[in-house]
Each structure stands twice: as C-alpha cells, then as structure tokens.
Amino acid sequence: MDTWHSIVRDSITTIDDLKKHFDGDFSALDDIITQYPMRINSYLVDLIKKHGSVIGRQFIPHPDEIQDTACTADPLAEEQLSPAPNLVHKYPDRVLLLVSGQCAAYCRFCTRKRIVGTAKMRITPDDLDAALRYIHSHTEIKEVLISGGDPLLLSDNRLAAILEKLRAIDSVEIIRIGSRIPATLPMRITCELVEMLGKFHPLYINTHFNHPAELTPEAEEACIKLADAGIPLGCQTVLLRGINDDAQTLQCLFRKLLKIRVRPYYLFQADLSLGTNHFRTTTDQGIAIMRQLYGHLSGMAIPTYALDAPGGKGKIPLTPSYIKQKGDILYFTNFLGEPCCYPEPRNFR
Ligand SMILES: *Cc1c(COP(=O)(O)O)cnc(C)c1O
Ligand code: SF4
C-alpha cells in the first residue's frame, strides 16, 4: 500500500479521534458529522497544530453548520443540469464530470457538501459509461472538467482508464482536472502519477489553496512536480470569512502560488451551499479586496473574482467599477488613487 493510502485510511473521522488530537468542546458535533462527514488526515492535523484556526476552521466541523437557514442544498442546480449521472452540462463547450465521491479531507465550506463523502455520491462504472456516451454524442463538448470529490484520490489505474476513454473521443480537446490534493495530501503527487498524467496532454490541473500557510514545502514540491510534467496549473481559491478575507493574506497567497508556477484563476465568492453560511463574506468586501490587489500585485497573480450564480446560471465576474462616463470622456482613479481620464474616439459614434 502506498503511504498516501494509509494516511487517508488513518484519518480522523470520529469525534473521539478528534478529541485525541485537539482540545475543545466537540460534544455538539456528532449530529453534524453523520450528515456531513469529517475527514482530517495526519498531514492536516500537523498543519492545524502549527497554524491554528485559519486551517482548522476549514476542516473541523462547527455547530453553525446545522444552524444555517440562508442557504440551499444544491445552489448551482447541478442536479437539474445533469443529462447523465454525475455529469453537469451548463456551458455550451464544456462539461463537468464527477468521477470520485471522496476527498483527502472534507472542507466544511464545500459546494457539494450535500453529497461529498456520503453514500449519495456513489459513482458506478455503468454511470461513468453513460456520461462518456453523452460526451461522445455531443461533439460541441470541447473540454471535460474532471472533478468530484477529488479525482486524484482514485488509484493511478482507475484514473488512467477514465483519461484513456476521454482521449478516445475525438471532439474532446482539453482535459482539466480539479483537485485539492496538492493542498490536502501532497504526498499523493507521486512520480508515477505525474508520469501517467503527462501522457494525456493537453491536460490542465486547477488546484485549490485558500491560505498561504497551506503552501508547505511538501505542497510546493507537489505543484512543481506537476508543472515540470508540462501541466499548466491554476488555483481556485474560495473567499472565506475569518480565514482569507483580507488583501494582505490573499496577496501573500497569490504571490507564493505564482512562484511555484500556479496561476491564480478564480477567487470564488462562497456559494449558497446549505451548512456553509457562516463562511460567507459580502461581495462589497470581496470587491474592496480586489481593488487593493490591482496594480499592487503582478497581473499574473490576480484571479477573477467571481460568483457562481444560484440556479446554475453560470459564473459572474465581480470587478471593482473604476469608470464614470460623462459624454465622450471616461473618468477613473488609478491604483494609487490618482484621477485620470480617457476620451472616446468621437468620429466612431
Ligand atoms: C465552473 C464550471 C465550469 C468551468 O467554468 P470555467 O469558467 O471555464 O472555469 C464548467 N462547468 C460547470 C458546470 C461549472 O460549474
Ligand atoms: S476538496 Fe473540494 S470537493 Fe472535496 S470537500 Fe473540499 S471543496 Fe469539496
């Protein structure tokens, strides 16, 4: 058995396990973890002990999870937008294919909290074949985004079999894997895995780091290995109240990511997923943070701040509004707060 397998197997999954590692009153959490499973592996236990709540709140259950009256179970309407089991077809040219029901750790703010890690997310070979048939027969699908759960929690062989079947479909140009494993179980990024992934180019990986403390030497090594295999890496960060909702923390995170060749891709406004309301910030706060990043940080390190519209309506970019137009003249202030203007070409109106 690989080391990463045994690390996952020996994770904290019960309140008794949790009490062995952390102090606190966890008595109210039993009900929560029967509904929303807990999994905290030893790599993350060490990280929580070292950095405290900025990591701990992402993985240790909280009583607020069952006090949530603002959010809904499936805010992105993924179930309505699903033409085949575990397949979400929302945009014309790309689909989301869920290939794993499990993750290396369960994030308390997960968008698919209603199903991830539970028996509701069982992915059978028949289901997968049905999804692949749909992709095959819809030649407008140019990109398949493989997610879950975490696809990299599958064995190398199972993942390779899925990638092979996708590569056998001529109309599929791009394969993108979404995985939090570089942040939650970096030892899973083995040389064998990386070598296997390198056979399926053009293959992209979008990973998910939320706080600079997650960029340990192990996590950095995992990303560098993937980048060295020619896999372009992006990062989808979630804006989380009390964890990363300030410009300084995000600036530090995005700079560190760029250094290890991970390009910040999205900063997500938290979804309206039931049990996660306590993580939400306001969009005003998010936009104010973005305003403090533009100009002060390499453009390559600045992600698109976006909210995924409820009801499966798609991602909406949220950008600070810089421009006031008066007649033919645009007025704005730059990143230093200096006023400037730009005249539109008059003869083109
Ligand atoms: C987010 C998402 C995608 C990918 O969107 P990009 O803007 O290309 O990253 C595709 N399908 C679904 C269902 C999604 O939620
Ligand atoms: S790794 Fe992703 S899918 Fe898994 S629990 Fe965390 S946010 Fe959800």
Cβ proximity of 105 and 39 under 8 Å:
yes
Ligand 2 midpoint to CA 328 (Å)? 48
Ligand 2 midpoint to CA 115 (Å)? 11
- Given a cut of 80, whether residue 348 has pLDDT beyond it is no
Measured CA angle at 83 (ends 146, 134), to 5 deg: 65
Which atom number of ligand 1 is nearest to the Cα of residue 76? 15
C-alpha–C-alpha distance, residues 255 and 300, integer Å? 9
Predicted confidence (pLDDT) per residue in 269-317, tens digit? 999 999 999 999 999 999 999 999 999 999 999 999 999 999 999 999 9
Residues with CB under 6 A from ligand 1: 88, 90-91, 94, 96, 145, 315
- Strand 323-326, strand 329-333: pairing: antiparallel
Q: Quick one: CA dihedral 183, 186, 188, 194, positive or negative?
A: positive
Ligand 2 midpoint to CA 326 (Å)? 46
C-alpha–C-alpha distance, residues 297 and 166, integer Å? 38
C-alpha–C-alpha distance, residues 245 and 279, integer Å? 10
Question: Cα-Cα-Cα-Cα dihedral of 276, 44, 232, 127, to 10°?
Answer: -60
Predicted confidence (pLDDT) per residue in 242-275, tens digit? 999 999 999 999 999 999 999 999 999 999 999 9
Cβ proximity of 212 and 253 under 8 Å:
yes
pTM reported for the whole predicted model: 0.96
| Average pLDDT over every residue of 135-160 | 97
